[in-house]
Amino acid sequence: MKNLAPAIFPPKGIGDAKPSNRAVLDWVHEIATLTQPENIFWCDGSERENEFLIAESLKQNVLIELNQKKVPGSYLHRSNPNDVARVEQFTFVCTPTKQEAGPTNNWAEPREIYAKLRELLRGAMRGRTMFVIPYMMGPADSPLTKVGFEITDSKYVVLSLRTMTRMGEIALRRLGDDPSAEWNRGVHSLLDVNPERRFICHFPQDNTIISVGSGYGGNVLLSKKCLALRIGSYLACKQGWMAEHMLILGVESPEGRKHYVAAAFPSACGKTNFAMLIPPAHFKGWKVTSVGDDIGWMRIRDGRLYAVNPENGYFGVVPGTSYKSNPNAMRSIAHDTIYTNVALTDDGDVWWEGKDGDPPAHAIDWRGNDWTPQSKEKAAHPNSRFTTPMRNNPALDPDVEKGEGVPISAIIFGGRRSDTVPLVYQAFDWSHGVYLGATMASETTAAATGAVGRVRRDPMAMLPFCGYNIGDYFQHWLDIGKRLSNPPLIFNVNWFRKGADGKFLWSGFGENMRVLKWIIDRCEGSGGALKSPIGWLPSPHDLDLAELDIDHNAVDELLGLDHEEWQKEIAAHKEFFDSLGGVVSEELQRQRDQLAARFKP
């Protein structure tokens, strides 16, 4: 079976970075007793360790070497074809009561599911190596920073976490020897990579994650969706901060005025691209820098929100990435990158749909089969991904390691909507902004298994990632607002509105700078806007569209409100809130009534 490589035996000095914290050692002992590995490999994230694991992964076909002249330090991994995306139907929040998990999460009773997982894990690592990975989420000196340990039997996970987190000694130092210190326990085993034995389980009260039966991305890099978002959001609510599915970017004017914004878009809806935006030529002197591309942790300081990116690398969507759409991503993934499920060309390079230039005459597709441009199948899986260190990004923000975080001037929500939702508009105030987030919707993408292109409500882009009751989550947002004397302004964007011809009306990518500029203008109190029933809307002349090839009708359509569509939209908001079974506060219900009333003549 693919991925299920036998034990490896490292030379002296590798794999022996045993931590000293008693609580960690006791837990590792407990899991090893259960899973019965051949040996235990204590990871330290060092260069030597990494080289050893890459060499072993190549021997065992966990990685395929790419042409080191074309993509130095880079490798290809093929996941099991039954295992190519997050599995929301097998993801559980296991709180003592179902009510704590809330109406949007799958729930399992902790004692029962622990027992079931224990049976699945019993002897699961026989003949194999168990890796123990210490890692840290957040800059070394941030009050928000968390320590986690992931136990895994996958070398791909070890190699990926080294890029995605701050791994090794730095995490052990942060944790220290206090056995009662807060840290996250993550257990992962591939088992036999069978969808019928695939469960991603979160125990917020125990700060514990158990993931079995998958080898893919968000299911197994437990630092990311599992800790930084699901467990993170639960801790954030308890501890008074925010854990959000948000990119963070810096934008600096030619005069040197700098703002930071955070944006929540659902999976595969443009966070990485927005975080790495390069302004078009017309915006000479403007600079955009990336703090993070997927997750933002925010806390209140002096009445403002400050954000850090807990991650250390990018696990980004490959298809569609090109020098035309996202040059900073292309430069980031030009070296020291693990590619998952892209195509392999005959000269050992990688290829995917949407890459610059012509498709290769022949390649090996993501499943390992021959591929030519005539093939009906895609060469790269639509959810194929790159894993690359954030340090590779030429536009990395200089304050990415700043422990106090960066001050957030604006929060932006956005989804994939072919109709109804204008290119950009601004909430009247914080509570109204929370309503925009709570009712946002998006067409589903290949980032999770299941139907693609179905409009679903995805509040704050957190539907699959909120680790507790969504009603309490909305309330937490409202409560945070009450503690902010200088709250970020809140906006909603939609890069994906389509015209009658079914084509995108907006060219997107770098051109999104035009929308970002209006947002910054609003933050500085200068941008013009009209009061509309849904919020402050720019009129066409409020947006800087100079040197953009777009016709007036398209702009009108992009900024237009179709009252009939909005009647349907408001009804859908109501239907969504009703479906949550009474957990939505009166304040948000009132926002809906006010929205409906503003549409009445």
Show which residues are catalytic. Answer: 269
Residues 6+ apart with CB under 8 A from 474: 434, 438, 459, 583, 584, 585, 588
Smaller CB separation from ligand SPV, 225 or 299? 225
Residue 381 Cβ vs ligand GTP, minimum distance, rounded to whole Å = 12
Smaller CB separation from Mn ion, 37 or 217? 217
Smaller CB separation from ligand GTP, 23 or 545? 545
Residue 272 Cβ vs ligand SPV, minimum distance, rounded to whole Å = 9
Helix locations, 417-562, DSSP H: 430-439, 470-482, 513-523, 552-559
Smaller CB separation from Mn ion, 50 or 312? 312
Q: What tokens does 305 get?
A: 């929100």
- Residue 224 binding target from Mn ion, ligand GTP, ligand SPV, none, CB below 5 to 8 Å by type: ligand SPV
- Residue 270 binding target from Mn ion, ligand GTP, ligand SPV, none, CB below 5 to 8 Å by type: ligand GTP
- Per DSSP, 548 falls in state -
Smaller CB separation from ligand SPV, 217 or 487? 217
Residue 307 Cβ vs ligand SPV, minimum distance, rounded to whole Å = 17
Chain mean position to CA 239: 22
Q: Which residue is associated with the tokens 């093929």?
A: 78
Please name which of 234, 236, 228 lies closest in space to residue 295, comparing C-alpha atoms.
228
Interface mask (CB under 6 A) for ligand SPV, residues 279-318, using x and -? ---------------x--------------------x---
Smaller CB separation from ligand SPV, 138 or 217? 217
Contact window for ligand SPV (CB under 6 A) among 13-21, 54-62, 216-224, 567-575: 216-224
- Residue 319 binding target from Mn ion, ligand SPV, ligand GTP, none, CB below 5 to 8 Å by type: ligand GTP
Residue 125 and residue 223: Cα distance in Å, rounded?
A: 21
Q: Which residues pair with 448 in a beta bridge?
A: 86
Q: Which of residues 195-214 bind ligand SPV (CB under 6 A)?
A: none
Smaller CB separation from Mn ion, 83 or 294? 294
Q: What tokens does 191 get?
A: 């088992």
Burial label for 198, CB within 10 Å (0-12, 13-18, 19+), is buried
Q: Which of residues 255-274 bind ligand SPV (CB under 6 A)?
A: 267
Q: Cβ–Cβ contacts within 10 Å for residue 90, how many?
A: 20
Smaller CB separation from ligand GTP, 325 or 589? 325
Residue 481 and residue 469: Cα distance in Å, rounded?
A: 19
Residue 328 and residue 393: Cα distance in Å, rounded?
A: 6
- Residue 272 binding target from ligand GTP, ligand SPV, Mn ion, none, CB below 5 to 8 Å by type: ligand GTP
Residue 225 Cβ vs ligand SPV, minimum distance, rounded to whole Å = 5
Interface mask (CB under 6 A) for ligand SPV, residues 476-515, using x and -? ----------------------------------------
Residue 21 and residue 173: Cα distance in Å, rounded?
A: 10
Q: Which of residues 271-310 bind Mn ion (CB under 5 A)?
A: 294
Residue 417 Cβ vs ligand GTP, minimum distance, rounded to whole Å = 12
Interface mask (CB under 5 A) for Mn ion, residues 230-269, using x and -? -------------------------------------x--
- Angle made by CA atoms 233, 273, 461, in degrees to the nearest 5: 30
Residue 125 Cβ vs ligand SPV, minimum distance, rounded to whole Å = 23
Whats the size of the chain, residue-wise? 601
Q: What tokens does 151 get?
A: 């136990």
Q: Which of residues 62-121 bind ligand SPV (CB under 6 A)?
A: 86
Chain mean position to CA 278: 21
Smaller CB separation from ligand SPV, 142 or 267? 267
Contact window for ligand SPV (CB under 6 A) among 218-226, 333-341, 426-434, 538-546: 218-226
Smaller CB separation from ligand SPV, 159 or 175? 159
Q: What tokens does 71 get?
A: 């993509």
- Residue 435 binding target from Mn ion, ligand GTP, ligand SPV, none, CB below 5 to 8 Å by type: none
- Angle made by CA atoms 32, 21, 140, in degrees to the nearest 5: 115
Residue 430 Cβ vs ligand GTP, minimum distance, rounded to whole Å = 24
Residue 276 and residue 22: Cα distance in Å, rounded?
A: 42
- Which residue of the chain is nearest Mn ion when measured via CB? 294
Residue 296 Cβ vs Mn ion, minimum distance, rounded to whole Å = 11
Crossing angle of helices 22-35 and 110-121, in 10° steps, is 60
Q: What tokens does 499 get?
A: 């015209």
Residue 267 Cβ vs ligand SPV, minimum distance, rounded to whole Å = 3
Chain mean position to CA 540: 32
Q: Which residues pair with 93 in a beta bridge?
A: 107, 202
- Which residue of the chain is nearest ligand GTP when measured via CB? 508
- Residue 508 binding target from ligand GTP, ligand SPV, Mn ion, none, CB below 5 to 8 Å by type: ligand GTP
Query: 24 in helix, strand or coil?
Result: helix
Residues 438, 474: contact at Cβ < 8 Å?
A: yes
Residues 6+ apart with CB under 8 A from 289: 249, 250, 251, 252, 395, 396, 397, 398
Residue 468 and residue 461: Cα distance in Å, rounded?
A: 15
Smaller CB separation from ligand GTP, 211 or 442? 442
Residue 304 and residue 42: Cα distance in Å, rounded?
A: 41
- By the criterion CB under 6 A, which residues form the site for ligand GTP? 265, 267-273, 293-294, 316-317, 319-320, 325, 447, 495-496, 504, 508-509, 512
Q: Which of residues 311-330 bind ligand SPV (CB under 6 A)?
A: 315
Residue 276 Cβ vs ligand GTP, minimum distance, rounded to whole Å = 8
Cα distances from 237 to residues 412, 478, 530, in angstroms, run 21, 12, 35
Residue 224 Cβ vs ligand SPV, minimum distance, rounded to whole Å = 5
Residue 461 gets the label, from left (phi > 0), alpha (psi -120 to 50) or beta, of left
Q: Which of 128, 225, 573, 592 binds ligand SPV (CB under 6 A)?
A: 225
Residue 52 and residue 256: Cα distance in Å, rounded?
A: 46
Torsion of CA 189, 192, 197, 199, to 10 degrees: 30
- Residue 225 binding target from ligand GTP, Mn ion, ligand SPV, none, CB below 5 to 8 Å by type: ligand SPV
447 binds ligand SPV (CB under 6 A): yes
Interface with ligand SPV by CB under 6 A: which residues? 86, 217-218, 224-225, 267, 294, 315, 447
Given the rule CB under 5 A, which residues bind Mn ion? 267, 294
